[in-house]
A and B are shown apart, each in its own frame.
Chain A
């Protein structure tokens, strides 16, 4: 069965600092991997996705993620965080894109 672990429930960073959110997955075949962001009371917005090819993928809002098969990881990064990035971030793994399994989420807080 597929699963996703986001080890950090909460992360606080200062505005302008770099950010890395961790994601580890368990999946038997080549995974489809996604990062979504959710603001309070809102739906999920797709930040980026990995299907195949280049293991470093670029997304919206200046985010990027790197797929590391040997570590079963797909960590999300941003070089300089803005106050508007404060939200909850979800990593997800898909089976041929049919059913997504989500991690528990990481809540990001940004200090001024």
Chain B
């Protein structure tokens, strides 16, 4: 399987705990994105990386959220001191921009439930 891989697929955690999600992009894709999707809504952009550099962050990404892509390959998204409002699906995506455009491919998502 050469698609975007995310794990864990599901995570249930108690409020106040920290959680970390991992994303492995499509091989050789230099851009990596994180989105969040709540029930009944479209995905919302959180942040993106070009190689290891984090180039853009949404205001949705509070200081409890941190994303890293240390070697320009896989990425992690950590949420500290989780709140019930963090319950959502966290989607990772990757792309390799070309002259004619930038097609973004998504993974299966990681579901977070905060109880």
| B104 x A94 contact (CB < 8 A) | yes
Of the candidate stretches A70-78, A79-87, A98-106, the one touching chain B is: A98-106
Judge if B106 is at the interface, Cβ distance under 8 Å.
yes
- Interface residue tally on B, bucketed by range: 20 to 34
Judge if A46 is at the interface, Cβ distance under 8 Å.
yes
Q: How far is the CA of A78 from the CA of B62 in the complex (A)?
A: 41
- Interface residue tally on A, bucketed by range: 20 to 34
| B106 x A43 contact (CB < 8 A) | yes
Judge if B103 is at the interface, Cβ distance under 8 Å.
yes
Which residues in A have their C-beta under 8 angstroms from that of B33?
A: 99-100
Q: How far is the CA of A42 from the CA of B48 in the complex (A)?
A: 21
Chain A residue at minimum C-beta to C-beta distance from B107: A43
Q: 1/0 per position for B25-46, CB-CB distance to A under 8 A? A: 0000001010100001111110
The A4-47 residues at the B interface (CB cut-off 8 A) are: 4, 32, 34, 36, 41-46
Chain B residues within CB distance 8 Å of chain A:
4, 6, 31, 33, 35, 40-45, 48, 55-56, 91, 93, 95, 97, 100-109, 111
